[in-house]
Structure 1
Amino acid sequence: MNSIKRSILDTVISRLQHEQIVALTGARQTGKTTLCEVQLPKLLNLPFTYISFDDPDERLRFQRSAVSILESITTPLVVLDEVQKIPQLFDPLKLVVDRECKKPVAERKRFVMTGSSQLLMMKNIQETLAGRVALCQMYPFSLHELTSDGEPPFLSRIWRDHAVSRQDVERLQLASPQRLRTLRKVRDEHQLWGGYPPVWQRTGDTARLNWLKDYRKTYLERDIADVGQVANIDTFALAQKLLCSRTANLLSISEVARGLGVAVNTLKRYLELLTMSFQCYLLSPWHENVGKRLIKSPKLYFPDMGVNRAVLGELSVSRGAAYESWVCAELLKWKQLQPLEPELYFYRTAAGLEVDFLLADERGIIPIEAKSSERVTSTDARSVEMFLAEHPKAAHVGLVVYPGNEIVELRKNVWGVPDWYLFGAL
């Protein structure tokens, strides 16, 4: 799996051309170290220095003389791994970077920082390195990364043109049956086990599930303990399970807090820890009145299916909720790679019209409905068609993504598209 080129790599390289520091955040075990220690230096063809602050001796060394150590490094690329472990690093790094900026561009060192706790890392970045850092986020493997030979997914072409072309319909029809079987097989595994690289390095359900359970245990006992804002880990673990069981649903903080028997502010803190450590995602509603977007309840998503299995244990969520959560994860991974990153919302009106996802920027909006059934009909496209009718200037094409086999125009400008074609690569 280390040979799989990560999609965020091109973005990191592009940011390094303009910034002295790139901060790469993401959950533990998403592959940040492999990208920075193996793939990035190889692609740049640069000598580099790698320092991991998981090593307590390294932390002690930098606490004593961080400035002199950083200035003594002669390689053009410096990788500083798990920087949230050493908050004392940020002031010395700011000083060194400011000195580097006085040198000719070709002689300046570039720094890549990684961290698996956005809460700890971003606090120090905002206080010390604001304006000096480009921020990138690394997710677990996307379906496109697992199936791609370098060509962008179908969704990128739809987003570029705000249309589904007949050529893309024909392209699917001309694909070999063997290739289609491979795509669907990888899709099935991805939806079942998630995208964490160590899962894909293991074979067999038992080995994969054991790793995921160990991952969750490490997350609770190490990552959350590092933050130090949880008095009772068992209560936090129960909150994680209860929230995970509500993935793809509107979030009612007061309702969940009552179920747990904790104060609303306690649950809010738990939720902040889960979102800032990349375990869950809150999707905001879209409304033409921007002010209303800020006060409406968000939808809650736990995007990695494998981790969800480890968290829920004997519990489960509906097939529809699991599928919608997977689609949300793929949209999040896709959108951050676009030249101008679109926003992602959901849509719900008082009259009862609902659309699972909206991709939106100044060029327009694409409404997307997720359906977990193997076949879709014109009925499944009704809400998307209604959104197009209500917003004719902004929205010109809509999608119903589903796990079937054919692209079909369900209603005018509303297309049913197989998930493995929308997010994967033929």
Structure 2
Amino acid sequence: MIPRRAVHRVERALRRQAAVALLGVRQVGKTTLAFDIARKTDAVYLDLQTRSDRTKLSDPQFFLSQYTDRLVILDEVHRVPALFPELRSLIDRGRRHGRRTGRFLILGSASVERLRQAGESLAGRIEFVPLGSLDVLEVEAHGDTAIPLWVRGGLPDSFLAASDEDSYAFRRNFIQTYLERDVEEFVARRLPAETLRRLWTMLAHWQGGLLRASELARSLAINTATVGRYIDTLTSLFILRRLLPYVANVRKRLVKSPKVYVRDSGLVHALLRIGDFDTLAGHPVSGASWEGFVIENLLQAAPPGTAASFYRTQAGAEVDLVLELPGLAKPWALEIKLGLVPPLGRGFRSAREDLKPDRTFVVYGGDEDYSLEPGVEVISLRSAAELLRDFRPPAAPES
């Protein structure tokens, strides 16, 4: 087992809140992390995907009131949405008897909208903690490097597979499961599985491109509203990331469409039938795949409250990632390059002039960090992730 940094966030959240929701895509390691916490706390674990455990909660007030002094872990909680008002009642009752924190750990891999409704039911009683794929800091602490993680992706069973062939097979099966079951569970009007697979594959080819739902709809011979509905669903299932454009106070025409990424690089490669590093290195998607991989790693390392976007004008000024960090008046600007000799174009320099960032980085595929030109630091992915992990907001000036 590779230790996850999120376990410390969950433990801290349980110490200050009655309920904590751990959210992430299927097979990302939520249950493993929860069992790790359960071993330390003598927690009660319920898998609501099983009929027997759902039956135990046919009268949740009776069953859960037997465990007021223990943490209760509720896995696949979206399958019992009626449970949330009951949790609110139990939490409020416990508060009146001095039991204010560490009551429930809720695991959710889907239906963010339902969990958002839970947040309304449990307002002031729940804290949300995201769990993404394995990242470069976690695997390098385990003795591995970023390149295998990029090729295989960060789903633990894929990354830790005995061979590239086994890893690739896991990801293809994972995709098939989502096509046949999970995605279809959360949309009202269902697409044929083959059409949905084509949509996924087109999104993988489109990695890092501006989202143009009308073009996708035309290629698939379906309407734009249907594409938009599936994009929303895949985003809520943590499969896709929509990166919004940065809103800058500049007198230039800015791109308004979001960029779209398949969040796990291993899924990008499986959708495009890329099974190993040699095939990936020569594939046209390699640069965009690396860009998405870097973005996911950096956002997982960034402190809570960080806002992420990209900057692009109609005239061609562009920066891949703009991070607004808590406590900083100016953002960080990050350009992402795969090669060992990262070239900088006119669009990047123009974007720097527009943004006037606090710091500027070029995150590249090498290991050494160095200054490329005044104000521009070339930095490895590992070093960039460490900077964000260790970032602390500047102290407020004394009055």
Change (3 A) 1:230 1:330: farther
Match of 1:328 in 2: 295
Match of 1:370 in 2: 336
RMSD: 2.5
Measure, in 2, the Cα distance between the counterparts of 1:32 and 1:148: 20
* Pairing of 1:99-178 with structure 2 (within 5 A): 99-105=93-99, 110-119=103-112, 121-148=114-141
> 1:260: Cα distance to partner?
0.9
Judge conservation of contact 1:286–1:293 (CA < 8 Å) in 2: no
1:275 pairs, out of 230, 235, 245, with 235
Match of 1:240 in 2: 200
Judge conservation of contact 1:224–1:230 (CA < 8 Å) in 2: no
Which protein has the bigger helix share? 1
> 1:228: Cα distance to partner?
4.4
> 1:76: Cα distance to partner?
2.4
Match of 1:15 in 2: 13
Q: Deviations over 1:363-422 (max 9, x none)?
A: 12110001111222xx42755544443344xx2320001112322211111011122433
Change (3 A) 1:228 1:382: closer
Q: Deviations over 1:304-354 (max 9, x none)?
A: 11111222237965221111111111122112xx1x421111000122100
Letter in 2 for 1:79: I
Judge conservation of contact 2:205–2:285 (CA < 8 Å) in 1: no
Change (3 A) 1:351 1:381: closer
Question: Structure 2 length as normaliser, TM-score?
Answer: 0.87
Judge conservation of contact 2:28–2:132 (CA < 8 Å) in 1: yes
| Structure 2 unpaired stretches of 5+ | 275-279, 388-399
* Pairing of 1:89-100 with structure 2 (within 5 A): 89-100=83-94
Match of 2:318 in 1: 354
Any idea what SS the aligned residue of 1:247 has?
coil
Q: Deviations over 1:196-252 (max 9, x none)?
A: 111133111111111111111111222123224342233222211112210111111
Match of 2:146 in 1: 187
Match of 2:29 in 1: 31
Measure, in 1, the Cα distance between the counterparts of 2:98 and 2:370: 56
Measure, in 1, the Cα distance between the counterparts of 2:156 and 2:386: 17
Match of 1:207 in 2: 166
Letter in 2 for 1:411: E
1:344 and 2:304 correspond: no
Letter in 2 for 1:328: I
| Structure 1 unpaired stretches of 5+ | 150-181
Any idea what SS the aligned residue of 1:17 has?
helix
Alignment identity in percent? 29
Larger RCO (CA under 8 A, 6+ residues apart): 1
* Higher alpha-carbon deviation: 383-392 or 197-206: 383-392
> 1:423: Cα distance to partner?
3.1
Measure, in 2, the Cα distance between the counterparts of 1:141 and 1:343: 21
Q: How many pairs align?
A: 376
Judge conservation of contact 1:373–1:403 (CA < 8 Å) in 2: yes
Measure, in 1, the Cα distance between the counterparts of 2:359 and 2:238: 31
